[in-house]
Structure 1
């Protein structure tokens, strides 16, 4: 097995891992949401999440992680195997779309953009939980 086949296999395995993270995350999120999942960064006196909102947050986290793995797989396959201008252009478009999705999911999950700092009291509650 030569180097190109090894890299292509690594890209395929990263794709499989990304999809698996999203599917397993969707399945595991159901019982966690039903049990009353509560993010650690919330103040202790805040209202409890509904099952629906808990599930959305958990599912969003799974999708974010899965998207990161899928982007890594695209980079491995495109840049490491056959870096042509066309393949790099397609990769750039894919990464832009997935980055937009990641930012949107981050805003949905945490209520702030990835580059915004956490509110002052949130970090103390996270370390205490």
Structure 2
């Protein structure tokens, strides 16, 4: 049973790395296409950063899941759980930071209406 769980963790690790690599490659191709079509670096670069950030966020989620599965199911010692806590804390901080950078606001702040639109009742 431990071998199966270890394999599942390895598959999730591989999937996380694959998502980050593929997402970055796709974002790069999209950046080049946008840049060639529009010839404006600012908008293209901002969208590129958002696309890469989303790929990293998704990949981090898979990597955290793999760590949790392997640590809790395969070797649940106090030391391994402590190491897992540190890894999850670092990856959570990275995810939070990326999310704030992508959205340009803290999660508890309300979303701003797009420019040119009015809020109901105005």
Does TM, scored on the shorter chain, surpass 0.5?
Answer: yes
State which of 98, 112, 125 in structure 1 corresponds to 2:91.
Answer: 98
> 5+ unaligned residues in a row in structure 1: which ranges?
38-47, 125-129
Computed over aligned residues only, the root mean square deviation of the Cα atoms, in angstroms, reads: 2.1
Report the TM-score when normalising by structure 2.
0.82
1:49 Cα offset (Å): 4.9
Report which of the two structures shows the higher radius of gyration computed on alpha carbons. 2
Is the Cα contact below 8 Å between 1:36 and 1:49 reproduced in 2?
Answer: no
In the TM superposition, structure 1's runs of 4+ consecutive aligned residues that sit over 4 Å from their partners are none
- Count of aligned pairs: 111
The aligned counterpart of 1:32 is: 30
**In the aligned structure 2, how far is the partner of 1:78 from the partner of 1:61?**
26
1:32 Cα offset (Å): 1.6
Superposed counterparts of 1:1-129, under 5 Å: 3-36=1-34, 49-120=42-113
> 5+ unaligned residues in a row in structure 2: which ranges?
36-40, 118-122
Report the TM-score when normalising by structure 1.
0.78
